[in-house]
């Protein structure tokens, strides 16, 4: 993998050397680049984006629309169509360029190829390499000439996609990686494409990336991209769901790189403007405040909604309380602590699978479960990934290792933070994590020394009491194929060990609510976290 990435890097470098941008053009209109990131199937925003595009086209001929990734996954409309509905809507809007987000891989590579083949927009992704073919799957960059001013758009997806999507999708049947995201050569690779674009006459370079600005957990991030390269004017980013109207970063040569993210779920519409005099400005327009909608795009969206409305509207039960995935500020709760939603979903797996315990990563839980009547669509919004449920037999020691990996990133949000059922545990974040990761953030080993996790107890189903875990004993564990078959979120020690039941996680949750809770999620049981995870 590394050899092929280096070869491609050298081939790009041979044709590239940095040079300054040529003088400006004679155009007398603004260049407008509309952008968004991490829409995650919030389809109602597309009609507004299309209307904004039309507004801008009425005053300048130079308008381009881009997405920084994570558009086909995260909601029921994406899940039921495996992204097809979303692509249809985006084509109606008229996107020009997209880069891939980690969740574009969630339906596996063959489906990714189908979806990108259906897209009318050009896919830009500089670092996705087909190792068997020895080439990139998509173009690294494209230059657009706006009346004599040339702007290069360069795309990239986070190498962490190996784990935040499903690792098995990037491997062959023997576990060998057949795709690379160039983690070892990322910054040098990107620099060479910047140089190449400049050599081809680009006056400006806009990076459309899905890297995020979370520098604590992922060393390959957008802030580091700015610091380790030169020649990038603007980074339009995604992945971390950050709300950044404009941030000034410093490049390797000391020059300023402008940076922006729109948040997520179409909270904002991004507008980048390059004036005829060369001034670059960035603006976020709150989507709720922009009232115009393109009627044609709205009609397409409404039509697709009707196709799945009957299934989505079917009533499952009722909840006396809202079970949150996020807090009021929009920050994830399920990725760094116990929640009532995590308790409910883990209970559903343990009870319906009949296992001793259940584990479930917080990244699998995508939306609050509302109070009041609960529809099938509500469950789909919580569990949108079409994961199937699995069982496995694990020793107590392996369970201890799994729990340790789950809290290794804390307090940083981590999709692999484990919610549990049939088990309780304590962890101390002041202890340095003994977990050793590889370059893809996957588990390698424990490095000795003290552990964060302690006081692990397992429910004795006969007595109804919790007992200290026995490292030598074997326990039955329920989870999803994402963890117990594919080793998702970096859980390499779990890869391939589970027995896949073939039943989707959403069906387990539906069954638990109907059969075991008799259609009523009561506040007394799920009104607050049950105290299964204690943070010292």
Q: Is the dihedral of CA 228, 233, 239, 241 positive or negative?
A: positive
Q: Tens of pLDDT along 416-449?
A: 999 999 999 999 999 999 999 988 888 999 998 8
367 in the same domain as 223 = no
Residue with tokens 């949000």: 413
Strand intervals (E) in 104-178: 122-123, 129-130, 135-136, 141-146, 149-157
Q: What does R_g of the chain's alpha carbons equal in angstroms? A: 24
Helix, strand and coil percent figures for the chain, each rounded to 5 = 30, 30, 40
Q: Are 75 and 264 spatial neighbours (Cβ–Cβ below 8 Å)?
A: no
Mark whether 318 and 233 lie in a shared domain.
no
pLDDT for position 19: 31
Q: How far is CA 386 from the centre of its chain?
A: 15
SS3 letters across 157-177:
ECCCHHHHCCHHHHECCCCCE
Q: Look at residues 395, 357, 401, 364 and name the one whose alpha carbon lies nearest to residue 473.
A: 395
Establish if 408 belongs to a structural domain. Answer: yes
Q: Kindly state whether residue 246 falls inside one of the protein's structural domains.
A: yes
Q: Is residue 16 part of a domain?
A: no
Residue 29 counted as domain residue: no
Q: Which helix (H) or strand (E) holds 424?
A: strand 423-427
Contacts of 159 (CB under 8 A, 6+ apart): 127, 181, 182, 183, 186, 220, 439, 440
Tell me which DSSP letter residue 333 carries. Answer: S
Q: What is the pLDDT of residue 407?
A: 97
Q: Are 181 and 129 spatial neighbours (Cβ–Cβ below 8 Å)?
A: yes
Q: Is 309 part of any domain? A: no
Of 274, 304, 334, the last residue of a domain is: 304
Closest listed residue to residue 73, CA positions, set 311, 239, 212, 218 = 239
If asked whether residues 319 and 264 sit together in one domain, one would say: no
- In this structure, is residue 237 part of a structural domain? yes
Number of domains in the chain: 2
Of the candidates 237, 240, 233, the residue with the CA atom closest to the CA atom of residue 278: 233
**Strand-strand pairing, 520-521 and 315-319:** parallel
Total Cβ atoms within 10 A of residue 393: 14
CB atoms within 10 A of CB 209: 32
Say if residues 361 and 483 touch (Cβ distance below 8 Å): yes
- Does one domain contain both 284 and 335? no
Q: How many CB atoms lie within 10 A of CB 302?
A: 13
Whether the Cβ atoms of residue 440 and residue 218 lie closer than 8 Å to each other = no
388, part of any domain: yes
- Domain housing 462: 314-535
| CATH number for 67 | 3.60.21.10
Q: What are the tokens at 203?
A: 């006056």
Q: Are residues 322 and 228 in the same domain?
A: no
Same domain, residue pair 414 and 520 = yes
Residue ending a domain, choose from 304, 332, 357: 304
Distance CA 350, CA 476 (A): 9
Helix (H) or strand (E) holding 187: helix 186-199
Are residues 74 and 175 located together in one domain of the fold?
yes
The pLDDT, as a whole number, for residue 217 is 66
Question: What is the C-alpha to C-alpha distance for residues 283 and 279, in angstroms, rounded to an integer?
Answer: 13
Looking at the fold, whether 402 and 280 belong to one and the same domain comes out as: no
Using CA atoms, how far apart are residues 355 and 352, in angstroms rounded to an integer? 8
Boundary residue ending a domain (277, 304, 331):
304
C-alpha 466/C-alpha 486 separation (Å) is 30
- In this structure, the dihedral spanned by the alpha carbons of residues 480, 482, 484 and 485, taken in order and rounded to 10 degrees, is 120
- Express each pLDDT in 317-356 by its tens digit: 999 999 999 999 989 999 999 999 999 999 999 999 999 9
Q: What is the CATH number of the domain that holds 360?
A: 3.90.780.10
Verify that 236 and 329 share a domain, yes or no: no
Q: What is the pLDDT along the chain (536 residues), one digit of tens a residue?
A: 544 454 444 444 433 333 333 344 568 999 999 999 999 999 999 999 999 999 999 999 999 999 999 999 877 788 778 899 999 999 999 999 999 999 899 888 999 999 999 999 999 999 999 999 999 999 999 999 999 999 999 999 999 888 776 777 888 888 788 999 999 999 999 999 999 999 999 999 999 999 999 877 688 999 999 999 999 999 999 999 999 999 999 999 999 999 999 999 999 999 999 999 999 999 999 999 999 999 999 999 999 998 878 778 889 999 999 999 999 998 999 999 999 999 999 999 999 999 999 999 999 999 999 999 999 989 989 998 878 899 999 999 999 999 999 999 999 999 999 999 999 999 999 999 999 998 888 899 999 889 999 999 999 999 999 999 999 999 999 999 999 999 999 999 999 899 888 888 998 999 999 999 999 999 999 999 999 999 99
pLDDT value, residue 106: 83
With a CB cutoff of 8 Å and minimum separation 6, the contacts of 50 are 92, 93, 94, 293, 294, 296, 297
What's the pTM? 0.73
> Pick from 146, 252, 111, 148: which is nearest to 191 by CA?
252
For residues 366 and 501, state if they share a domain. Answer: yes
Residue 152 falls within a domain, yes or no?
yes
Is 85 found in the same domain as 107?
yes
Contact yes or no for 387/79 (Cβ under 8 A): no
Query: Residue 25 has what pLDDT?
Result: 53
Whether residues 172 and 234 fall in one domain? yes
């Amino acid at each position: 993998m590394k050899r092929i990435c280096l070869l491609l890097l050298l081939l790009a470098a041979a044709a590239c050397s940095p040079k300054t941008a040529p003088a400006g053009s004679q155009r007398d209109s603004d260049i407008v680049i509309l952008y968004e990131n991490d829409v995650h199937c919030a389809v109602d925003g597309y009609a507004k984006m299309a209307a904004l595009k039309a507004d801008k086209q009425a005053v300048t001929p130079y308008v381009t629309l881009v997405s920084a990734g994570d558009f086909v996954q995260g909601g029921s409309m994406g899940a039921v169509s495996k992204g097809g509905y979303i692509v249809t809507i985006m084509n109606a809007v008229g996107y020009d360029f997209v880069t891939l987000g980690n969740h574009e891989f969630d339906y596996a590579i063959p489906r990714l190829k189908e979806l990108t083949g259906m897209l009318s927009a050009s896919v830009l992704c500089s670092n996705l390499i087909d190792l068997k073919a020895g080439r990139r799957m998509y173009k690294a960059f494209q230059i657009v000439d706006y009346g004599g001013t040339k702007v290069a758009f360069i795309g990239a997806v986070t190498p962490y996609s190996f784990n935040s999507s499903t690792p098995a999708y990037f491997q062959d049947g023997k576990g060998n990686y057949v795709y690379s995201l160039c983690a070892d050569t990322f910054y040098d690779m990107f620099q060479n494409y910047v140089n190449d674009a400049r050599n081809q006459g680009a006056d400006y370079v806009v990076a459309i990336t899905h890297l995020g600005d979370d520098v604590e957990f992922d060393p390959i991030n957008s802030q580091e991209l700015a610091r380790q390269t030169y020649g990038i004017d603007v980074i339009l980013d995604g992945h971390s769901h950050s709300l950044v109207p404009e941030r000034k970063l410093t490049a390797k040569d000391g020059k300023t790189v402008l940076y922006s993210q729109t948040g997520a779920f179409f909270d904002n519409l991004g507008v980048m403007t390059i004036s005829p005099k060369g001034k670059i400005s960035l603006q976020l327009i709150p989507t709720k405040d922009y009232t115009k909608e393109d009627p044609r795009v709205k009609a397409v969206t409404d039509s697709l909604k009707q196709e799945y409305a009957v299934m989505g509207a079917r009533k499952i039960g009722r909840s006396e309380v809202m079970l949150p995935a996020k807090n009021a500020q929009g920050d994830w709760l399920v990725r760094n602590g116990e929640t009532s939603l995590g308790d409910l979903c883990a209970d559903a797996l343990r009870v319906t699978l009949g296992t001793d315990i259940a584990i479930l990563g917080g990244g699998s839980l995508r939306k609050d479960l509302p109070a009041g009547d609960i529809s099938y669509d509500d469950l789909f919004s919580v569990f949108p990934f079409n994961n199937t449920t699995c069982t496995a037999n694990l020793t107590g020691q392996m369970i201890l290792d799994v729990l340790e990996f789950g809290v290794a990133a804390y307090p940083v949000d981590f999709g692999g933070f484990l919610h549990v059922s049939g088990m309780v545990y304590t962890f101390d974040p002041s202890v340095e994590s003994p977990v050793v990761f590889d370059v893809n953030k996957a588990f390698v080993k424990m490095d000795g020394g003290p552990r964060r996790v302690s006081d692990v107890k397992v429910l004795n189903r006969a007595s109804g009491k919790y007992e200290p875990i026995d490292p030598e004993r074997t326990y039955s564990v329920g989870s999803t194929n994402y963890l117990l078959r594919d080793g998702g979120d970096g859980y390499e020690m779990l890869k391939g060990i589970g027995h896949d039941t073939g039943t989707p996680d959403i069906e387990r949750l539906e069954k638990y609510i109907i059969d075991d809770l008799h259609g009523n999620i009561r506040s007394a049981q799920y009104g607050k976290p049950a105290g299964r995870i204690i943070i010292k």
